[in-house]
């Protein structure tokens, strides 16, 4: 993946059933070593995406890897970095100041406090989507969603397609108006 | 009895469970907590495998996690995510029994457990862990580590003989297997008039239970009343089967408690035993001896294949040369095969996944099901995919897990010195010393059963 902020995972709320399979798969994909079954898990399940439910909508909220990302700009210790287009957290530098979580316009960053994750010994890192750079077939959430509600959006490609569609529409309108004359 | 539960505090109402439930036993509105209709549920636990709605530390908080773990009577060493759909655990009873010196604890583990259990200790999917499992069960303090595979061989002797009797004496045909308690319950609930088609054989778990408290107790020099039978199963419905009132032919409830493959993992970890690093050990003899035929009970088509290997000999008096019956392997919903055995062409069928049973039942009701013997397993690929098996974090790994467990099962069969149930030394011994003959008087007392509304 290349291009700053060109890719992110988008959920279709029409298809999402709120099953949390994306959260579980996301967590599993970010564990070190082979970890395929639930029984191998020894740490609390903290994903990098957040299923959000209102009365009418449910969908996972994920990082948009924004161009000129506000979270990255707000990160004082420089724990957020741009890697191959994605915004990723360097856990060693993160001090848990929550600036990034406040700056994020989508609510896609969660700071996990020591009350929830005492295993970290007081450190409180930011948890956010990194687009699963270690997975060959792209983000785990997209692969596992039983309803195909998630997809990786390539913003540059989408723009190109939209422009083509617009010009085709213009051409069609022009053609039909000529036919009327 | 409650075997499967859906926790209302955690269920998101996504209804993914309803898609896998073969009997439409889960009800509710989308987005609201679902309800399990206990009367319809066959307790297969496929909803337990599918459910991903977990106690979220972010949404529910750590207190809720601890509360749920306590409610479910799980040891504090359990740190894994807890999901809305779950089976009621009886692990605490096993821990208590292991600490009671007055009990003679005997454990059995089903064929599919050994190709699943190691997954929860970080070994690759489908790792065969027979020897490590035997060692682990011994480290836990069980007095005897016997095996369900032994009684799977015993089931074949009884069921094969029953089949031959039904075929030669014009009994009720086709005969259906009765090893799978979910399937038996489905028949009893929905088609009680057809239960006469079920084999009268108890499942391997129950045969083992009855034998361990009688013949086994005698071999071990203990009283049957002191024997406490623990069973480790890939299946959530086995708890229900063990608790059935009629399963007491030893003079006591034949199986005292059932835990799943996953719960055996909890128990080993609770006791600080790392299965992955244990050496291979043998099961206790003679009731831990088994053949390849017993081992393949864990996969769909396995009971049928095992039955053919021995049934051929029962019908023809000759030995089947090629024991790999590829025609009944695979995972199609309903597959048919014809096996030539002397003058008889044995017509068999294999149904996998209870979702595929209705067309077969319709044929049976219409009198058009042209078969002598039909195997039915409730779970998608037989017991290796049971509701109590290790649960995958991502469903994208499910096909690989099933394939690896299946391959490990067939490899195990191939590697065993004996691959036909009737060749087992332990089987010959139990008939010579105790049961006399398959389908004999003693067998009928201990190893056979009858069904509701037969």
Of A24, A51, A53, the CB nearest to B394: A24
Among A38, A43, A147, most B C-beta atoms within 10 A, so best to mutate, is A38
Partner-chain contact B79 A42, CB within 8 Å: yes
- Any CB–CB contact under 8 A between B12 and chain A? yes
Place B434 in a pLDDT band, splitting at 50, 70 and 90.
very high
The mean pLDDT of B168-187, rounded to a whole number, is 96
| Cβ atoms within 10 Å, residue B361 | 18
Q: What percent of chain A has pLDDT over 90?
A: 64
What residues make up the domain containing A90? Answer: 7-155
> Given a cut of 70, is residue A122 above it in pLDDT?
no
Element (H, E) at B341: strand B334-341
Look at residue B282 and give its three-state secondary structure. Answer: coil
Looking at chain B, which residue has its C-alpha nearest residue A55? B31
Q: Are B120 and A115 within 8 A, CB to CB?
A: no
Q: Assess if residue A2 is contained within a domain.
A: no
Most confident of A161-175, B145-159, B440-454: B145-159
Taking the CA of residue A45 and the nearest CA in chain B, the distance in Å comes to 6
Torsions phi, psi for B167 (to 5 deg) = -70, -45
Which residues does chain A have within 8 Å of residue B120's beta carbon, measured at their own beta carbons? 37-40
Q: Does the residue A161 lie in any domain?
A: no
Instruction: Indicate yes or no: CB of B393 within 8 angstroms of CB of A36.
Output: yes
Cα gap B400→B403, rounded to integer Å = 5
Checking phi first, is residue B24 left (phi over 0); if not, alpha (psi -120 to 50) or beta?
Answer: left
CA angle B274/B279/B280 to nearest 5° reads: 120
- Tell me if A19 and B12 make a contact (CB, 8 A cut-off): yes
Q: Which residues contact B143 (CB under 8 A, 6 or more apart)?
A: B104, B105, B106, B220
A29 CB neighbours in chain B (<8 A) are 394
Q: How many domains does chain A have?
A: 1
Residue that the structure tokens 């089976």 belong to:
B87
In sequence order, the 6+-apart residues with CB closer than 8 A to the CB of B245 are: none
Beta carbons of B122 and A40 less than 8 Å apart: yes
Is position A41 within any domain?
yes
At residue B28, the pLDDT reads: 97
Measured from the Cβ of residue B97, the count of other Cβ atoms closer than 10 Å reads 18
**A174 lies in a domain?**
no
In a domain, A21, yes or no: yes
Give percent of chain A above pLDDT 70.
91
- Residues B159, B166: Cα–Cα separation, whole Å: 10
Q: Which CATH architecture has domain B144-447?
A: 3-Layer(aba) Sandwich (3.40)
Domain ranges in chain B are 1-88, 144-447
Query: Within the 125-144 window of chain A, which residues sit less than 8 Å (CB to CB) from chain B?
Result: 140, 143-144
**Is pLDDT above 70 for B255?**
yes
End-to-end alpha carbon distance in chain B = 22
Taking CA atoms, what residue in A is nearest to B64? A116
Mean pLDDT of B209-235: 97
Three-class SS state of A171:
helix
Asked whether residue A173 is assigned to any structural domain, the reply reads: no
Is residue A177 in a domain? no
pTM of the model: 0.94
- Tell me, what CATH number does A135's domain have? 3.30.70.20
> B344: part of which helix (H) or strand (E)?
strand B344-352
Q: What ipTM was reported for this prediction?
A: 0.93
B144: tokens are 């005897």
Q: Residue A179 pLDDT more than 80?
A: no
pLDDT digits (tens, 9 = 90+) for B309-328: 999 999 999 999 999 988 88
Any CB–CB contact under 8 A between A114 and chain B?
A: no
- Fold classification of B1-88 is Alpha-Beta Plaits (3.30.70)
In a domain, A176, yes or no: no
* Residue B135 pLDDT: 98
Rounded to the nearest angstrom, the gap between the alpha carbon of residue B204 and the centroid of all alpha carbons in its chain is 8
Residue A86 pLDDT > 90: yes
């Amino acid at each position: 993946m290349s291009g700053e902020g060109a890719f992110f995972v988008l959920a279709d709320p029409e298809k999402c059933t709120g099953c949390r399979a994306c959260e579980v798969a996301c967590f599993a994909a970010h564990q070190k070593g082979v970890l395929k079954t639930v029984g191998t898990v020894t740490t609390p399940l903290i994903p990098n995406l957040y299923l959000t439910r209102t009365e009418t909508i449910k969908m996972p909220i994920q990082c948009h890897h924004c161009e000129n990302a506000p979270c990255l700009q707000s990160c004082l210790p420089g724990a957020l970095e741009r890697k191959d287009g994605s915004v990723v957290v360097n856990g060693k530098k993160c001090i848990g100041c929550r600036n990034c979580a406040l700056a994020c316009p989508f609510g896609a960053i969660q700071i996990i406090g020591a009350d929830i994750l005492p295993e970290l010994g007081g450190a409180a890192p930011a948890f956010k989507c990194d687009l699963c750079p270690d997975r060959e077939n792209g983000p785990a959430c997209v692969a596992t969603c039983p309803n195909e509600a998630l997809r990786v959006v390539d913003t540059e490609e989408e723009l190109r397609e939209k422009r083509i569609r617009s010009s085709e529409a213009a051409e069609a309108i022009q053609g039909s108006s000529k036919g009327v004359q | 009895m409650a075997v499967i539960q859906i926790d209302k505090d955690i269920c998101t109402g996504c209804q993914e469970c309803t898609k896998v439930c073969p009997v439409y036993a889960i009800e509710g509105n989308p987005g609201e907590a679902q309800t399990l209709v206990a009367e319809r549920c066959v307790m297969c636990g496929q909803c337990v495998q599918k459910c991903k709605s977990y106690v979220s530390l972010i949404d529910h908080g750590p207190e809720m996690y601890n509360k749920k773990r306590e409610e479910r009577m799980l040891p504090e060493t359990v740190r894994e995510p807890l999901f809305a759909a779950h089976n009621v655990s009886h692990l605490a009873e096993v821990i208590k029994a292991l600490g009671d010196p007055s009990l003679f604890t005997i454990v059995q583990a089903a064929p599919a457990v050994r190709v699943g259990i190691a997954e929860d200790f970080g070994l690759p999917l489908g790792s065969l862990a027979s020897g490590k499992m035997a060692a682990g069960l011994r480290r836990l303090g069980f007095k005897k580590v016997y095996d369900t595979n032994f009684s799977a061989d015993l089931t074949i002797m009884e069921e094969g003989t029953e089949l031959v009797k039904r075929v030669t004496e014009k009994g009720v045909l086709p005969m259906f297997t009765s090893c799978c308690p979910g399937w038996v319950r489905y028949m009893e609930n929905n088609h009680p008039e057809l239960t006469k088609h079920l084999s009268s054989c108890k499942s391997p778990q129950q045969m083992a239970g009855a034998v361990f408290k009688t013949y086994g107790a005698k071999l071990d020099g203990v009283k049957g009343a002191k024997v406490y039978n623990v069973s480790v199963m890939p299946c959530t419905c086995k708890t229900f089967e063990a608790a059935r009132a009629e399963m007491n032919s030893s003079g006591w409830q034949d199986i005292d408690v059932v835990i799943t493959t996953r719960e055996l993992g909890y128990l080993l970890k609770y006791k600080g035993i790392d299965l992955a690093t244990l050496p291979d050990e043998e099961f206790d003899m003679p009731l831990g001896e088994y053949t390849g035929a017993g081992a393949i009970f864990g996969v769909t088509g396995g009971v049928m294949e095992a039955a053919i290997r021995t049934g051929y000999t029962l019908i023809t008096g000759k030995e089947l040369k090629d024991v790999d019956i590829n025609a009944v392997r695979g995972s199609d919903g309903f597959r048919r095969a014809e096996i030539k055995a002397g003058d008889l062409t044995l017509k068999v069928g294999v149904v996998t996944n209870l979702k595929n049973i209705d067309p077969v039942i319709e044929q049976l009701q219409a009198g058009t099901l042209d078969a002598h013997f039909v195997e039915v397993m409730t779970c998608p690929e037989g017991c290796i995919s049971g509701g109590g098996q290790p649960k995958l974090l991502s469903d994208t790994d499910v096909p690989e897990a099933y394939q690896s467990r299946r391959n490990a099962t067939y490899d195990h069969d191939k590697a065993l010195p004996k691959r036909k149930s009737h060749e087992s030394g332990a089987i010959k011994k139990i008939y010579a010393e105790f049961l006399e003959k398959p389908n004999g008087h003693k067998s009928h007392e201990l190893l056979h059963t009858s069904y509701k509304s037969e």
